[in-house]
């Protein structure tokens, strides 16, 4: 079920925004865009109420597809002054990641974010790798270029899920023998609704959402393909939390590298030294 923060009617909100802005009709007086002049309504954040889907179609890899995290919000922006451009949209960062693939008593592979794991940063950008600092640049953002003479009503939305591949065999082995016995993943995110001045980079945080995705899959490698893996633990995800306060955005959540480029695949044997299998990009 989606969670909503509901406010009075949109008509009254727009009227309130207009009243708050002061001299909005005169571009010469150049009113500054402030948080109190921006109206946010119908904020929702949810994770689909369905279990993670396991795919055993390949003799090389197991794949799983988690339910989607979805976020949406309506925003009424005040008139934008001449020579200013504002972008309203979603910024997301990963704040915690545990992603282990266990191969019996041989060892485990693990996707890791070294700077996050070692506590050197508080968050890593989860941008698409192109639209920094934004999560994406389609439904995730709206751009307003001044001058505009009246308030602008807009909606921004985003979604996210996991759909990775995990090798049945030990990733550093030349053998194709299935040895995978368990997959554990636990990842946390902060998602911010933000208005940002494209020139000055001034940012106004409008809403903060925290959410978490967990996956726990048991695997019997001795079973035939198609019947090896099963979900264990809770079948449905905990729903996101729309905070009633705004959290600041850490610097590493705004620029390169994003989580996909910063992550490294390690092989951690039961005996012996760990080995980098795939370095960060």
Return the closest-CA partner of residue 86 out of 203, 176, 172.
203
What pLDDT, in 10s, does the model give residues 163-202? 999 999 999 999 999 999 999 999 999 999 999 999 999 9
Between 2 and 112, name the one with better pLDDT. 112
What pLDDT, in 10s, does the model give residues 32-88? 899 999 999 999 999 999 999 999 999 999 999 999 999 999 999 999 999 999 999
| Percentage of the chain exceeding pLDDT 90 | 87
Tell me, what's the pLDDT at 252? 93
pTM of the predicted model as reported, rounded to 2 decimal places: 0.88
- Asked if 170 and 106 count as a contact pair (C-beta separation under 8 A), the reply is yes
Q: Does the pLDDT at position 146 exceed 60?
A: yes
Beta strands in the chain (DSSP E): 3-5, 39-47, 53-55, 61-65, 69-77, 85-103, 107-112, 124-125, 141-145, 152-160, 165-167, 182-197, 203-219, 229-231, 241-242, 264-269, 275-278
Mean pLDDT over the full length of the chain = 91
């Amino acid at each position: 079920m989606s969670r909503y923060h509901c406010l009075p009617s949109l008509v009254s909100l727009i009227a309130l925004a207009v009243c708050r802005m002061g001299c909005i009709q005169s571009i010469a007086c150049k009113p500054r865009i402030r948080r109190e002049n921006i109206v946010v309504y119908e904020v929702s954040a949810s994770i689909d109420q369905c279990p993670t889907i396991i795919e055993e179609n390949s003799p090389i890899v197991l794949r799983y597809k988690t339910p989607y995290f979805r976020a949406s919000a309506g925003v009424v922006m005040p008139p934008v002054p001449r020579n200013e451009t504002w972008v309203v949209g979603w910024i997301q960062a990963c704040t915690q990641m545990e992603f282990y693939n266990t191969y019996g008593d041989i060892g485990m592979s693990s996707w890791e974010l070294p700077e996050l794991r070692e506590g050197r940063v508080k968050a890593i950008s989860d941008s698409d790798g192109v639209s920094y600092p934004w999560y994406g640049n389609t439904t995730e953002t709206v751009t307003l270029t001044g001058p505009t003479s009246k308030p602008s009503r807009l909606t921004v939305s985003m979604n996210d899920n996991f759909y990775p591949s995990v090798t049945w065999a030990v990733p550093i082995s030349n053998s194709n023998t299935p040895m995978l016995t368990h997959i554990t993943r636990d990842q946390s995110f902060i998602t911010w609704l933000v208005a940002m001045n494209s020139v000055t980079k001034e940012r106004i945080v409008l809403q903060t959402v925290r959410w978490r995705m967990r996956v726990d899959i048991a695997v019997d490698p001795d079973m035939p393909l198609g019947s090896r893996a099963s979900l264990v633990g809770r079948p449905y995800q905990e729903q996101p939390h729309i905070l009633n306060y705004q959290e600041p955005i850490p610097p590493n959540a705004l620029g390169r590298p994003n989580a996909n480029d910063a992550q490294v695949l390690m092989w951690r044997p039961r005996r012996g030294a760990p080995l980098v299998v795939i370095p960060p990009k």
